[in-house]
Every structure is written in structure tokens, then in C-alpha cells.
Amino acid sequence: MLQPVRFAAIFALCALAFIGNPSPAAAQDRRVPSSQAELQLSYAPIVQRVQPAVVNVYAAKTVQNRNPFMDDPFFRRFFGAPGQQPEQMQRSLGSGVMVDGSGLVVTNNHVIEGADQVKVSLADKREYEAEIVLKDSRTDLAVLRLKGTNKEKFATLDFANSDQLQVGDVVLAIGNPFGVGQTVTHGIISALARTQVGITDYQFFIQTDAAINPGNSGGALVDMTGRLAGINTAIFSRSGGSQGIGFAIPANMVRVVVASAKSGGKAVKRPWLGARLQAVTPEIAETLGLKLPTGALVANVAPNSPAAKAGLKLSDLIIGIDGTPIDDPNAFDYRFATRPLGGNAEIEVQRAGKPVKLTVPLETAPDTNRDEIVLTARSPFQGARVANISPALADELHLDAGAEGVVVTELADDGTAANVGFQKGDIILAVNNEKIVRTSDLDKVSKAGSRIWRVTLVRGGQQINVTLGG
């Protein structure tokens, strides 16, 4: 099964030392060793160069142990109010990569998620407190900044162009698997553009057989020029250890997240299409007269969106972007999201069997009037964070383009909303026959103290009516 590579590790890829150190700017030299002497060459020069830029990330959060029986008024009445509950410190260990000499580190979001304290340990054993600059759950990436550095300059890794990687390229990984200490492994790129991994919103992973184990999350995947090819994030394993199938987030996606952090943003800025896409099944391909089930079929277009401005229409089949073929919606999402803002993208579509080229402006989705709140009143919605749907939020949660209303954006683990079965992405349409248009409407209804709750919601495009309480 797929597992995020939790607990720590640093992956940095080292380069094959062909007579002298390769220049970071040079293209990777792809050739089979031609002699016994070349087989005896070492990765050591590249390892020594990249190791200082790979770090350990330590995260900790305080959890208060809670007796669930004390939530029941009956138990509180007979056993008294709960006293001070004991606290427990939960710790996680991961890796990171220094991407800016001022002390900016990129790691996996799951390494630091919910942390109260974050520390970064460098290869030379120096330790620094770190602040979380930006978190992006859609890519499972986070950016940290070291505190108290006294304007020191740190070793960094440059980004490779991950679109130029090829299956069979040699890569190295440096990490701290199982907490044993910094470890170097090597392998090849086993596959590119893996889109059926199911870890993050942007499914477009580099697969490698370089040994990745628990503890390697957030570490560097480095190509043979010593540049960052990707951030290791997960493994496929039935045992919990490496079985030769690891996944890394491509450097071109990492670059987008880091750029947003450097610009001072609290959220990643990426292009917005304003259309919902669906995969082409064999049945759909047969209907469309396609030889292969490939491309991304347009299922919905939001009014006034970039897609609408470009002339994209329902049932258009997207087959390419800027000259790169598109196999499925995940591939398009990645290619489109890594395009630089401010310009245009040329999208190739098939419309009624004929090729059409459209120019789509690369702009961010409007994100206004979210009015995000946490519902605390005693009701089925207690513990739910809800927001008014904006185009940006609809894009983030994969809702229908143009969706309106109030959507659940987060659920507290110990909240009533999670316990009764609400899910992230649920759109609340009505409660007890009262239409819910804004978060203030839901807040007001949740405070009514009703015994019966009749809720109408949309989940996965389907309208559902449920009755709670009684």
C-alpha cells in the first residue's frame, strides 16, 4: 500500500563522477560505461557537494489526552467535572532541502502538519528553530524559514528541469531512514508522470527504485548534475520498508511552491482554468471515435473563467498543452499548474473530431468573501470549518466550476461533524428547510438548538438528503 515516508530522511541525488566534477549547469551525460575503469568511478564528489544542503526536520505538537466519557452530561453529573488532562508530546522526523541561502527549506507538508514546534538540523549538526512560511496540502509541500541565522549563508541545491528527466536516468537519495543517520542510496528513474498514486491533488510523480524508507519524507532526489530533481514523499510498501517503488514530487512543481513562499504569499499562486475535466474511459473513447482512451474531456466550464474566455466548450477533448501531449486530467492539471502566471498557454483540443487551438490566459482564481468560520454551537456541524465558495476554493476542492454556497473545508477529529459523517468538500444547501447561502446562515441555524436536523447537501456532484438526531 502507499505510505507517505514519515519520520525523517534526506534524499539528495549525487552525480556520477566522470573525470572531474560535472558542472551543475551542464546537461546530464547519458551513456553506458565503456570500460572497467569507468565502473570503478565514485558518486562521492557529488554526495560531498549536495549533502550540506539536505537537512533533518523535527516537528512536535502537544496533544491533550481527553476522556470521551466526560463529554456526556450523565458522566459529568456523577463523576464530576474533569480535572486537568495530561498532555502528551507527539514528534515526527523528516527531511528537507535548503533552496535559498538565507535559510529557506522545503519539506513535505505531512512532516510538519499540526506542529507547535519545528527544528531543523543541518548536516554539520547545527540546529535552528524554524517557522512555517507556507503550507500547500494540494502538493504535500511546505516551506520553512530558519530563525536566528544572523544573516548566515547556507548551502543550497539548484532546481533541475524535471520535464527533461528520462526513464533510466541515475539518481541518488540522501536521507535518514529509520533515524539511523544520513544515508545515501542510488537507483534509476523507474517511471515518469505517475498519475494513479492517490497522495496529493496533483498526481504526476517521479517513480524511482532508489531506496526510500520511513524517515525520508521531504528529502531530495538529485540528478547526476547535483541538482534537485524532486522531493521524495511516499513509498509503495506492504512491509513498511523500501520495496523499490518510491515517489517524488517533480522539481518543477516544487519550484512553484517555493516561488510563492519567496513572494510572501500564504497560499500558492497557480493558474486557474475554470473548467472541470474528466478521464476518457474506453467507452467514451469508442463514442468519440478515438483509437485510444487518452486526453481530458471537458465536463463543465465556469462563466467568465479563463477557459470560457479562451472559448473552451463542453465536450471538448484536451489533447495537448504548449506542444506536450496530455494523457489524462491529472497530466493536464500538473502541466497547467506549473505554467508561469501572467502569460498564455496554448491548449490543443479535438472538437467534433477536428483539431482546434485555444489560447488560455494564465491568471489566478478570484478568492474573495470566503468568510471562513468554525462552527462551535452544539449541533451536527460542531467542529466543522466552513467557507463561502469562491472560484479559488472551488478549484482547490475540485468542486464543479461555478459552484456556489457553503462548503466544509476542514473537520476537527474530535468534532461532532466528523463523527456524524460530514466530509471535506460537502456543500451545505439547506438545513431544516432554510436555504444556506452564506456561512452566517449556517452559523445562525446551528445555534437554533433543534432536536431534528434535516440537511440537504451535495457530495461528489450528487444531492443527498439526511436526517440527524431524534
Q: Where are the alpha helices (DSSP H) in 104-166?
A: 109-112
- Secondary-structure breakdown of the chain: helix, strand, coil percentages, each rounded to the nearest 5: 20, 35, 45
Phi, psi (rounded to 5 degrees) for 328: -160, 175
Angle between helices 329-337 and 251-262 (to 10 degrees): 40
Nearest residue to 295 via CA among 353, 249, 360:
353
Site of grid cell 497557480: 270
Distance between CA 400 and CA 276 in Å, rounded?
6
Active site residue 398: no
3-state secondary structure of 276: strand
Nearest residue to 95 via CA among 11, 155, 153, 13:
11
3-state secondary structure of 333: helix
Active site residue 140: yes
Active site residue 186: no
Distance between CA 237 and CA 2 in Å, rounded?
6
Count helices and strands in the chain by DSSP H and E runs = 11, 26
Residue 351, classified by CB atoms within 10 Å of its CB into exposed (0-12), middle (13-18) or buried (19+), is middle
Distances (CA, A) of 321 to 163, 182, 209, 306, 330: 14, 40, 30, 15, 13
3-state secondary structure of 159: strand
Residue 379 DSSP symbol: S
Nearest residue to 391 via CA among 285, 258, 301, 293:
301
3-state secondary structure of 455: strand
Which residue among the candidates 217, 242, 260, 446 is catalytic per the annotation?
A: 217
Site of grid cell 513535505: 108
Which residue among the candidates 140, 223, 395, 441 is catalytic per the annotation?
A: 140
Which residue among the candidates 110, 121, 223, 328 is catalytic per the annotation?
A: 110
- Catalytic site positions: 110, 140, 217
